[in-house]
Amino acid sequence: MKNDLMIRAARGEAVERTPVWMMRQAGRYLPEYRAVRGQTEFLTLCKTPELAVEVSLQPYRILGVDAVIMFSDILIPVEAMGQVVTLTEKIGPKLPEPIRTRAQVDRLIVPDPIETTPFVMEILRILRRELDGAVPLIGFAGAPWTLAAYMVEGGGSKNYAEIKRMMFAEPKTLHALLDKIADTVILYLNAQIEAGAQIVQLFDSWAGELSPRDYAEFALPYQQKILAALNRDAVPAILFINGCGTFLEQMATSGADVLSIDWRIDLRDARRRIGDRLGIQGNLDPCVLLSTPELIASKARELIEAGGGRRHILNLGHGILPMTPVENARAFIEAGKGLR
């Protein structure tokens, strides 16, 4: 590869500089993305390979990021499992028939990703061809707890009352759901690797809503099951959790090569807590990108220094915000790439 910095950093190998990319880097902050999005619905964009490839490549062409992540949505395999999903970018996902009973769980299927989501694999194949080794290609999936939260709540939530009610009152039903999702994600990510993904990221965005004890029972075992079952001898795996500070040490036992952390944890402290055997990705507060290029560059330098130049991938602590000025996003990427 012409630029394999991110793969080497994830494996703990020597790098000339810290690699840098941004979660949600293909998105509404880019006028070029808005131009494509303005002509099609969000779910159609996810399912149309030529359009998804175009928006996936935009951050690489415009900002020069060190990796391309395929454009998709974590709920794509949920729809394949048999639950109705509507995706509206500004409103968020809606699942009009939320899972509340064991009978509903039993009706869900573990889908064959090649048959039910062929467009995802086609997106990856085209991206590998288009990139031609320029930078690594990232595939991804949602983790069971986070997907279950959407499936049980019927969409986003402020307090996660429904899934927590199930967790406390009907734990066997929730475990059955989580296990079925894990089996689905294993097949889904392995198909992505076969189609060309060179790195995979598992998003358990809402696991931070759990206590350490509940994380150990309802999230961690399913992360471990997935990561242990992936065909990834040459494909590093990243695990992202928003709000992971209370159980970072437990997260380190997931089997991921890299832990992607939010901005609420000091990066040096995170390194002290998990040691040198795992990589760390992050962890700039996305709101810093709403400030000035000078401050952004300063904050990027601080993170690179804290990362120590080894097993660190510079990124945000969550996805880039839609109102972020493009020049500020560029300042972050350029600051990262300018430091060795």
Residue 51 DSSP one-character state: H
Q: What is the rounded distance in angstroms from the CA atom of residue 170 to the CA atom of residue 210?
A: 16
From the list 11, 28, 100, 330, the catalytic residue is: 28
Average pLDDT over residues 311-328: 97
Whether 24 is catalytic: yes
Tokens encoding 293: 């290029």
Candidate list 4, 73, 204, 257, residue with the active-site label: 73
What stretches of the chain adopt beta strand conformation (E)?
A: 68-69, 86-88, 92-94, 137-142, 199-203, 237-240, 258-260, 279-284, 312-316
> What local confidence, expressed as pLDDT, does residue 232 receive?
83
Residues facing 155 on adjacent strands: 94
Segment 250-253 long-range contacts (CB within 8 Å, at least 24 positions apart): 250/212, 250/215, 250/216, 250/220, 251/220, 252/278, 253/220, 253/224
Q: Which of 29, 33, 60, 150 is catalytic?
A: 150
Alpha-carbon distance of 242 to 245, in angstroms, equals 9
Say how far apart CA 276 and CA 247 lie, in whole Å: 17
Tracing tokens 């969409």 back to the chain, one arrives at: 155
Q: What is the pLDDT of residue 35?
A: 97
Sign of the CA dihedral running 210, 214, 215, 217: negative
Per-residue pLDDT at 204 = 97
Place of tokens 């630029």: 3
Radius of gyration of the chain from its Cα atoms, rounded to whole angstroms: 19
Q: Write down the mean pLDDT value for the chain.
A: 96
Residue tagged active-site, from 11, 17, 37, 100: 37
Q: Please state the rounded mean pLDDT for residues 26-46.
A: 95
Q: How confident is the model at residue 340 (pLDDT cuts 50, 70, 90)?
A: low
Note whether 6 and 304 are within 8 A (CB): no
In the chain, the amino acid numbered 271 is R
Q: How far apart are CA 38 and CA 35, in angstroms?
A: 5
Task: Provide the pLDDT for residue 176.
Answer: 98
**Residue 290 scores a pLDDT above 80:** yes
> What does the pLDDT read at residue 267?
96
How many angstroms separate the CA atoms of 72 and 29, rounded?
17
Q: How far is the C-alpha of 85 from the C-alpha of 101, rounded, in Å?
A: 18
Q: What is the mean pLDDT of residues 142-150?
A: 98
Identified catalytic residue from 4, 8, 24, 257: 24
Domains and CATH numbers, the chain: 5-337 (3.20.20.210)
pLDDT tens digits, residue range 228-240? 999 988 899 999 9
pLDDT digits (tens, 9 = 90+) for 84-126: 999 877 778 999 999 999 999 999 999 999 999 999 999 999 9
State how far the Cα of 22 lies from the Cα of 321, in Å rounded to an integer. Answer: 11
- 37 catalytically annotated: yes
Name which of 298, 251, 297 is nearest 270 in CA terms. Answer: 251
For residues 160 and 149, the answer to whether their CB atoms sit within 8 Å is: yes
Residue with token string 């930078």: 135
Q: Is 107 a catalytic residue?
A: no
Smallest CA-to-CA distance from 76 within 86, 89, 63 is with: 86
Overall pTM surpassing 0.85 (yes/no): yes
